[in-house]
């Protein structure tokens, strides 16, 4: 299936982005070289407990145009990242470098997921305008909703539900993040050998990924989809309606609540609590540990229920959910799924786009990283497009790897001109090779190159006169030829 990486999670070239068991063929190398479309992209998700990386390439299947070719995860020690801020930069950098080396993605363009704190994702109603006007007035509009100094944050927005409001107004998805957090993430990826070109909140990433996977139709679908991404320290919740992000909230609790409860109740270390949570407690304490785990997960479920109830109470257009999708590090824990289902009285669906044949390989952790990887390849116009990196998303061909991490402004006309020159050169070179091959073939197929160059005509003759044995070894004169028999 693939080589084993350091934490037991294999990466392989046979992993397919889809809920199918078929392996998609990648595009031929010559099409990847001479194409102005990006052919491969990397998603990097730096969580408080685990670092994840996913590499995606284009395929030759129009109905399923992407394939996940490599992925890897690596767990971090407790306290390296706290509240979304990188406390020990060198150790996180070492982990990211290790993942880049294992997956062979050095020099590739990537997208980075930003932590929930301090990141703001908000649906805002503004006067109707085009994207250029929105870009010019964005900072003025954002000052009303951002509790930070506007000079200390990176801000971006995208138009959502353009025709859902009366004429003269429109909804936008406003996102903002502190510049220090963004710069740290960009520097981390650059130092690890990647080329970061975009950064976006994880809520936006998951919303786009669910929209791609579920095939939500803005014209026909009339129900909401809830996305719950539960991690170690936080839970990110998003709600889609008609394919658009209409609600987002961060809950300051996650899987670590179980560890904290077990530590205080049984007087054990953090490492021991993590071991009990994942692998199970000793036989004599298993029932008591299961009870405390359920109590901790119930607290998380209550917070999720409050957020969903608040959304349903404040928006009269939404009364039920089409589905409730759960992803993240705790999404494969049956105790959490049971606690959430009992609290919400709804069917809970784990969200994992990787094929079932991969088995237990921590693929439930990779949804955000997969969405980030598709950020550079998916060209659908109905997705939310935001970028907090501070520079525009390029449309360059990422199959040509570069060691220079400097981010130059992409000139599409210059790139197309270079493509034309390269194709013309290859055409002329091919014609020359074909002509040379024909010339060489003409001479090689001649009966005698020497006779041809000397001016002799190749002659076929058949001796009909008998030759006795005594004449063998003597010269026999045959017109046009001078051979010795």
Reported as a single tens digit per residue, the pLDDT across 232-253 is 888 999 998 877 888 888 888 8
pLDDT at 291: 92
In this structure, are residues 396 and 410 in contact, taking their beta carbons and an 8 Å threshold?
yes
Tokens of 272: 């021991």
User: Based on the domain organization, do 125 and 162 belong to the same domain?
Assistant: yes
Domain end position, chosen among 358, 385, 410 = 410
pLDDT at 54: 92
> Number of structural domains, the chain?
2
Tokens of 367: 């949804």
Residue 436 placed within a domain: yes
What pairing do the DSSP bridges indicate for beta strands 348-350 and 321-327? parallel
Q: For residues 229 and 8, what is the distance between their CA atoms, to the nearest angstrom?
A: 23
DSSP H helical ranges for 52-171: 89-103, 131-142
Q: Counting beta carbons within 10 angstroms of the beta carbon of residue 395, is it exposed (0 to 12), middle (13 to 18) or buried (19 or more)?
A: middle
Q: Which of 93, 105, 103, 96 is nearest to 11 (CA)?
A: 103
pTM, two decimal places: 0.73
In this structure, are residues 32 and 17 in contact, taking their beta carbons and an 8 Å threshold?
no
User: Based on the domain organization, do 424 and 406 belong to the same domain?
Assistant: no
Residue 484 placed within a domain: no
Query: 3-class DSSP state for residue 216?
Result: coil
Q: For residues 202 and 82, what is the distance between their CA atoms, to the nearest angstrom?
A: 17
User: Based on the domain organization, do 29 and 91 belong to the same domain?
Assistant: yes
Q: Which residue has the tokens 């990188």?
A: 86
User: Based on the domain organization, do 402 and 420 belong to the same domain?
Assistant: no
Domain end position, chosen among 394, 410, 426 = 410
pLDDT at 454: 54
Q: Could you list the residue range(s) of the whole structural domain that residue 225 is in?
A: 3-410
User: Based on the domain organization, do 390 and 466 belong to the same domain?
Assistant: no
1-17 residue pLDDT tens: 333 333 333 333 233 33
Residue 104 placed within a domain: yes
Domain end position, chosen among 390, 410, 430 = 410
Residue 215: φ, ψ to 5°: 65, 45
Which residues have CB under 8 Å from 273's CB, separation 6+? 258, 259, 260, 262, 263, 266
User: Based on the domain organization, do 79 and 216 belong to the same domain?
Assistant: yes
User: Based on the domain organization, do 303 and 420 belong to the same domain?
Assistant: no
User: Based on the domain organization, do 358 and 467 belong to the same domain?
Assistant: no
Q: For residues 332 and 339, what is the distance between their CA atoms, to the nearest angstrom?
A: 13
pLDDT at 191: 94
pLDDT at 353: 80
Burial 155-173 (b: 16+ CB within 10 A, else e): bbbbbbbeeeeeeeebbbb
User: Based on the domain organization, do 427 and 388 belong to the same domain?
Assistant: no
User: Based on the domain organization, do 303 and 435 belong to the same domain?
Assistant: no
In this structure, are residues 127 and 168 in contact, taking their beta carbons and an 8 Å threshold?
yes
pLDDT at 392: 59
pLDDT at 368: 92
Residue 479 placed within a domain: no
Tokens of 410: 């992409």
Query: What is the CA 438 to chain-centroid distance, rounded?
Result: 48
Give the number of other CB atoms < 10 A from CB of residue 33: 13
Low-confidence ranges of the chain (pLDDT < 50): 1-25, 216-220, 395-411, 460-485
Residue 478 placed within a domain: no
Residue 286 placed within a domain: yes
pLDDT at 245: 85
CATH number of 388's domain: 3.30.420.40
Q: Which of 264, 252, 182, 233 is nearest to 79 (CA)?
A: 233
pLDDT at 137: 86
Strand intervals (E) in 30-65: 40-46, 50-58
Residue 359 placed within a domain: yes
Own/partner contacts of 164-167, CB < 8 Å, gap of 24 or more, are: 164/242, 164/244, 165/125, 167/128
Residue 482 placed within a domain: no
User: Based on the domain organization, do 452 and 402 belong to the same domain?
Assistant: no
Query: 3-class DSSP state for residue 340?
Result: helix
pLDDT at 420: 81
Q: Which of 225, 216, 233 is nearest to 117 (CA)?
A: 233
Residue 237 falls in which region: left (phi positive, over 0), alpha (psi -120 to 50) or beta:
beta
In this structure, are residues 263 and 269 in contact, taking their beta carbons and an 8 Å threshold?
yes
Q: Counting beta carbons within 10 angstroms of the beta carbon of residue 466, is it exposed (0 to 12), middle (13 to 18) or buried (19 or more)?
A: exposed
User: Based on the domain organization, do 370 and 422 belong to the same domain?
Assistant: no
């Amino acid at each position: 299936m693939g080589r084993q990486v350091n934490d037991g999670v294999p990466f392989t070239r046979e992993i397919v982005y889809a809920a199918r068991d078929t392996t998609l063929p990648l595009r031929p190398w010559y099409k990847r070289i001479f194409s102005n479309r990006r052919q491969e992209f990397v998603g990097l998700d730096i969580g408080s407990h685990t670092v994840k990386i996913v590499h995606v390439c284009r395929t030759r299947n129009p109905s399923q145009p992407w394939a996940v070719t490599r992925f890897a995860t690596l767990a971090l020690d407790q306290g390296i990242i706290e509240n979304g801020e990188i406390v020990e930069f060198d150790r996180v950098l070492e982990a990211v470098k290790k993942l880049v080396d294992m997956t062979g993605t050095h020099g590739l363009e990537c997208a980075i997921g930003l932590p929930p704190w301090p990141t703001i994702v908000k649906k805002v109603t503004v006067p109707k305008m085009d994207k250029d006007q929105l870009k010019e007035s964005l900072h003025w509009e954002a000052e009303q909703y951002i509790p930070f100094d506007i000079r200390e944050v990176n801000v971006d927005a995208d138009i959502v539900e353009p025709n859902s409001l009366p004429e003269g107004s429109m909804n936008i998805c406003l996102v903002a993040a502190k510049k220090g957090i963004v710069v740290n993430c960009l520097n981390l990826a650059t130092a690890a050998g990647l080329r970061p070109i975009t950064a976006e909140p994880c809520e936006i990433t998951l919303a786009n990924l669910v929209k791609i996977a579920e095939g939500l139709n803005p014209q026909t679908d009339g129900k909401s989809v809830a996305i719950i991404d539960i991690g170690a320290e936080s839970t990110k919740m998003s709600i889609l309606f008609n394919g658009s992000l209409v609600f987002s909230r961060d809950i300051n609790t996650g899987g670590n609540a179980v560890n904290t409860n077990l530590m205080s109740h049984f007087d054990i270390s953090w490492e021991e609590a993590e071991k009990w949570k994942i692998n199970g407690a000793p036989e004599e304490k298993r029932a008591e540990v299961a009870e405390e785990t359920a109590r901790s997960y119930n607290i998380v479920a209550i917070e999720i229920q409050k957020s969903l109830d608040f959304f349903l109470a404040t928006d009269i257009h939404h009364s039920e959910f089409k589905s409730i999708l759960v992803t993240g590090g705790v999404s494969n824990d049956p105790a959490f799924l049971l606690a959430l289902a009992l609290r919400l009285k709804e069917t809970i669906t784990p969200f994992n786009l990787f094929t079932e044949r991969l088995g237990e390989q921590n693929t439930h952790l990779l949804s955000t990283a997969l969405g980030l990887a598709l950020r550079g390849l998916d060209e659908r116009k109905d997705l939310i497009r935001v970028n907090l990196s501070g520079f525009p998303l390029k449309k360059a061909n990422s199959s040509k790897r570069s060691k220079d991490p400097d981010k130059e402004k992409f000139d599409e006309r210059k790139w197309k001109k270079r493509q034309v020159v390269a194709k013309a050169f290859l055409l002329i070179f091919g014609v020359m090779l074909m002509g040379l091959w024909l010339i060489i073939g003409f001479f090689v197929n001649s009966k005698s190159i020497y006779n041809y160059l000397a001016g002799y005509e190749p002659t076929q003759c058949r001796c009909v006169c008998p030759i006795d044995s005594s004449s063998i070894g003597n010269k026999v004169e045959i017109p046009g030829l001078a051979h010795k028999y």
